[in-house]
Structure 1
Amino acid sequence: MAIQWFPGHMAKARREVGEKIKFVDLVFELVDARLPLSSRNPMLDQIVQHKPRIILLNKADLADEGQTKKWINYFESLGYPALACNAKEANTTKAILAKAKHTLQEKRARDRERGIQPRAIRAMVLGIPNVGKSTIMNRLVGKKIAQTGNKPGVTKGQQWLRVGNELELLDTPGILWPKFEDQEIGKKLALTGAIKDQLLHLDDIALYGLEFFATFYPGRISQRYGLSSTDEQLTAPDLLMDLTKKMGFREDYERASERLLLEIRQGKLGRFTLDRVEDLESESNHETVH
């Protein structure tokens, strides 16, 4: 199953970001804390270039806490300030503002020495679809001004938003690369909902999810669905067949797959992180930070 998705408005957004990057002081790169590396866009390094950048690991409430800490250490070891956040929490705005001020403190000090009066920090929020950009924007601005949705591709336009007197944000549509060099990345993105379900074979993604949980979080599947421990030792296809019956869907594997994916995405099987810091050495081709 080759996963590809690159709607036309994303190509336009890439051009617009390239044109407007010069107007901002800082870039907030939003990633999904459950897949901090796979949800990064390789094109951003080329577009952002040398602008200061903060990596925001959103949806941290759904991710494995131990792995999130490791990822923050990893990004900061490369010189990128990083912050775990949950767009739905009230204290997120304060934490992001503090991180932005700290990141730009040397530049602002130089500006003061040159007699340049301080102004609001101008920032751009970038990320692939469905990592929570609109929710972050609404949290920062303090009102529902950015359109949100539980599916990728909701935000189409581009708008400036003010956060009090301290921050001005340029919202942009999500950008996803046109081809996945590694289909494993495509499966991870699909499992967390970054790619439209209509473009996928849901049973393939469900099988991938079952194999992942059996490997890294054994016991979660049997605990959630009341299976015996021996059931979880089955191959993923056999396990999906058992789950389908357990859910009352008889032989409707598509419906069972849809239910399983929804519950994984909602965190009903517990916190999880698909990208493992420990795998970086063996998967150096996944690295997109330079």
Structure 2
Amino acid sequence: MNIQWYPGHMAKTRRIMQESLKLVDIVIELVDARLPLSSRNPDIDNIVGNKPRLMVMNKSDIADPTLNKAWMAWFNKNNINVILADSITGKGLNQISDYCREILKEKIERETSKGMVNRAIKLMVVGIPNVGKSSFINKLAGRASAKTGDRPGVTRGQQWIRLKSGFELLDTPGILWPKFEDVQIGRKLAYTGAIKDEIMDIEELTCSLLEFLRNNYPEKLKERYKLNEISDLSGYELLTNIGKKRGCIVSGGEIDTFRAAGIILDEFRGAKIGSMTLEKPI
């Protein structure tokens, strides 16, 4: 599964982000708490450079709580400012303004000494597709579609959004990198829906996901699909067993594995199987 996927609009987004950095004070990097490393775009480090940054581990409510703590400790150890959040419930979002002000403390003090008081702090949110950016931004703004009007230098696909507590946010479209050199990274992103199912073999994808769940979250897998002993079952055997239990049967008694795979992926992405994390700190 050697995935190469770089639509033209993403190349354009990269250029827009580079051009827009001079307009903002701090970058908020949104990652998926279920795969904190794999959902970081490696291009972001080159694009953002030394611009102050805050990482937000979004979707933390559907990630493994124990691994959430482990990842927080890992990022802090590596001098990365990070918080846990969930853009659906709003959990953790009230910390963002305080964290940003703390990160920008010296800059704010310099501006205050020059008489520049109450200037809006400008943020940029970056993240790969399907990481929850729209929900995150709307929750921060307190409403949907919170445009503040056109600004010089802002091209189509971006908007300024006025937030509470003296912040303004510059939104950018999601961006992926040109090629996944590591097949496992591509797979994990596909599990969460960051890569469109239309370009994937979802039966193969689901088989590999089921093998991961068998090895790492066997009890949750067994409970959700009313399975018994699964340690010796392959991903395909798990897929057919689950398909049979869910009534995915076509004429002749054959299991509709395509339909079963779609059900399993949907239930994994919706956390119906349980709160899980796909990778552990290095």
TM-score when scaled to structure 2? 0.91
- What amino acid sits opposite 1:248 in the alignment? G
Is the contact between residue 2 and residue 181 of structure 2 (CA under 8 Å) also seen in structure 1?
A: no
1:244 partner amino acid: G
CA contact (8 A) 2:146 2:162 kept: no
After superposing the two structures, state which structure 1 stretch, 175-184 or 237-246, moved more.
Answer: 237-246
Alpha-carbon distance between aligned partners in 1 of 2:80 and 2:115, rounded to the nearest angstrom: 28
The C-alpha deviation readout for 1:236-268, integer Å capped at 9, x for no partner, is 111111111111112210110000000011111
- Please state how far the C-alpha of 1:226 moved relative to its aligned partner: 0.8
**Which residue pairs with 2:270 in the alignment?**
266
Alignment-derived partner of residue 23 in structure 1 = 23
Identify the match of residue 279 of structure 2 among 272, 275, 279: 275
Per-residue CA distance 1:22-54 (angstroms, 9 max, x = gap)? 111000000000000000000001110000100
CA RMSD across the alignment = 1.6
Query: In the alignment, which residue of structure 1 is the partner of 2:257?
Result: 253
Moved more, 27-36 or 1-10: 1-10
Asked if structure 2 preserves the Cα contact closer than 8 Å seen for 1:34 and 1:62, the reply is yes
Aligned 8 A contact 2:85 2:93 in 1: no
Correspondence for 1:43: 43
Question: Could you tell me which residue of structure 1 aligns to residue 204 of structure 2?
Answer: 204
Structure 1 residue 223, shift from structure 2 partner: 0.8
Q: Separation in 2 of the partners of 1:205 and 1:117?
A: 53
- More displaced 10-residue stretch of structure 1: 48-57 or 208-217: 208-217
Structure 2: how far apart are the matches of 1:91 and 1:221?
27
CA distance in 1, matches of 2:109, 2:242: 60
Gaps of 5+ in 2: 148-155, 250-254
The aligned residue for residue 180 of structure 1 is 180
Q: 3-state DSSP class of the match of 2:241?
A: helix
Letter of the structure 2 residue corresponding to residue 272 of structure 1: M
Match of 2:134, SS state, is helix
Identity %: 46
Higher gyration radius (CA): 2
Task: List structure 1 runs of 4+ shifted beyond 3 angstroms.
Answer: 90-93
- TM-score normalised by length of structure 1: 0.89
Mapping for residues 1-290 of structure 1, pairs under 5 Å: 1-145=1-145, 157-228=157-228, 230-250=229-249, 251-277=255-281, 280=282
